[in-house]
Amino acid sequence: MTIPAEPGRGRLDPGLTAIMSERRHLTDLAYRLLGSLADAEDVVQETYARWYAMSPRRQEAVRVPGAWLTKVAGRICLDLLASARVRRERYVGEWIPEPLPDRTEWVNGSSRATAADPADPADRVTLDESVNMAFLVVLESMTPAERVAFILHDVFCHSFAEVAEIVGRTPAACRQLASSARRRVRASRASAAPAARHAGVVRDFKQAWEAKDIDALIGLLDPGATLVGDGGGRVSAVLDPIEGGERIARYAVDLVGRASGLTFLERTVNGRPGLVVQHDGVVTGVMAFDVVGDRVKHIWAVRNPEKLRPWTEELQP
C-alpha cells in the first residue's frame, strides 16, 4: 500500500513545500517502525534537522528530496530499533506499542479536527491495517533489519534496491529479510472478524464488564485468550500476561469492584474498535482488542501515562 504525502499549504517556496509535504509520510513510516508516536516525531525532527544542516548547494544536488528524507529517517529508525531492544530489557512489565486515537472521535461523538496544520503528530499518522495493534505486536518479534525491510517494501512499496541503501545489505538479502518477516505475519494472523462484528463484540464486552457479568465475559472471551498490560512501572498494571478467558473475566470484574468511578468509552484504537478507561473523568487506560470469529482473542491494555498523552489531551472534560 502507498501512503500519500500531505499536500503543500499556503504560499510557501515550492521547494520548501515539497520538503515539508513529506512530513506525514515520514511520521507514518517512523511510527510503524518504532511503535512509538513520541519516538516517531523525534525521528522526523532529526531528519529535517539533517536536511537543513546541509548547504543549499548540497540540497540542490539531491535529485529526489523525498527519497533522501525517507532514507535518512529509515536509517535513524534502524539505529533506534537496535537500542530499543536494550531499553526494553529494562522495561518494567510488558511493552506494548503506543496506541493511536482516531482524531475525528471526540467526547460526545462530535468532531473538532479542523486544524489545517495539526500540532500533534497523531494527526499526521494514517490509520490503516498496518497500524492495528495485532500487526504492531507481530512487528515487535522481528529483528530490526527484518522490520525495516518489511515495512519499507510491503507497506510503503519501496524497491529492494532502495531498502538496501537503508539497511546496508544487498537487495537479495533485503528480499530474504522481507520474506522472513512476511512468514511471521502470516503465521500470527487468524481469521480476524469484520469491522462491524469486531465493534459489536467490543461493545458487548464493555456492557458485560460494566454489569460485572462474569458469565457474559467468559462467553465473549476465547478460552485461550490473553490479556497483556503495560504500566511501564509508572502505574499499577499486570506485570505478566493473563492467559485464559475465565481468568481474564474474573480479573476484569475484580478490577471494577475495587475501583469505583470507572467509565468505559467506545473509541477507535489504532484503526479498530477499542475502549478507553476513565477514572473520575481522567484517562487511565486504552484497550485494543483482537477479535477472531465471535470472541476476543487478545486484549492489550496500555496504562503507561507517557503512552496516553494523545488520549489525555483529547478526552479530558
- Round to whole Å and give the CA distance between 71 and 27: 13
Judged by DSSP in three states, 188 sits in helix
**pLDDT value of residue 198:** 94
Instruction: Work out the average pLDDT over 264-276.
Output: 95
- pLDDT confidence band for 116 (50 / 70 / 90): very low
- Round to whole Å and give the CA distance between 300 and 290: 9
More confident of the two residues 13 and 78: 78
Angle in degrees, 0-180, between the axes of helices 133-140 and 171-188, rounded to the nearest 10: 130
Give residue-wise pLDDT tens across range 41-66: 999 999 999 999 999 999 999 999 99
Instruction: Work out the average pLDDT over 238-252.
Output: 96
Question: Residue 241: is its pLDDT beyond 80?
Answer: yes
CA-wise closest residue to 134 among 84, 184, 176: 184
- pLDDT confidence band for 313 (50 / 70 / 90): low
Considering only 40-44, 185-189, 275-279, 293-297, which range has the smallest mean pLDDT?
185-189
- Round to whole Å and give the CA distance between 67 and 252: 47
Topology (CATH) of 14-114+128-188: Butyryl-CoA Dehydrogenase, subunit A; domain 3 (1.20.140)
**pLDDT value of residue 53:** 96
- Round to whole Å and give the CA distance between 279 and 255: 12
CA-wise closest residue to 37 among 316, 302, 244, 246: 302
Domain range list for the chain? 14-114+128-188, 195-315
**pLDDT value of residue 122:** 55
**C-alpha distance from residue 206 to each of 133, 155, 295, 304 (Å):** 19, 33, 13, 21
What integer best gives the mean pLDDT of the chain? 87
Give residue-wise pLDDT tens across range 12-42: 455 677 788 899 999 999 999 999 999 999 9
Answer for the pair 19, 28: CB distance below 8 angstroms, yes or no.
no
Question: Residue 118: is its pLDDT beyond 80?
Answer: no
Answer for the pair 294, 193: CB distance below 8 angstroms, yes or no.
yes
- pLDDT confidence band for 110 (50 / 70 / 90): very low
- pLDDT confidence band for 123 (50 / 70 / 90): low
Topology (CATH) of 195-315: Nuclear Transport Factor 2; Chain: A, (3.10.450)
Answer for the pair 251, 237: CB distance below 8 angstroms, yes or no.
no
CA-wise closest residue to 227 among 205, 207, 210: 205
**pLDDT value of residue 189:** 73
DSSP letter at 98? P
Instruction: Work out the average pLDDT over 311-316.
Output: 66
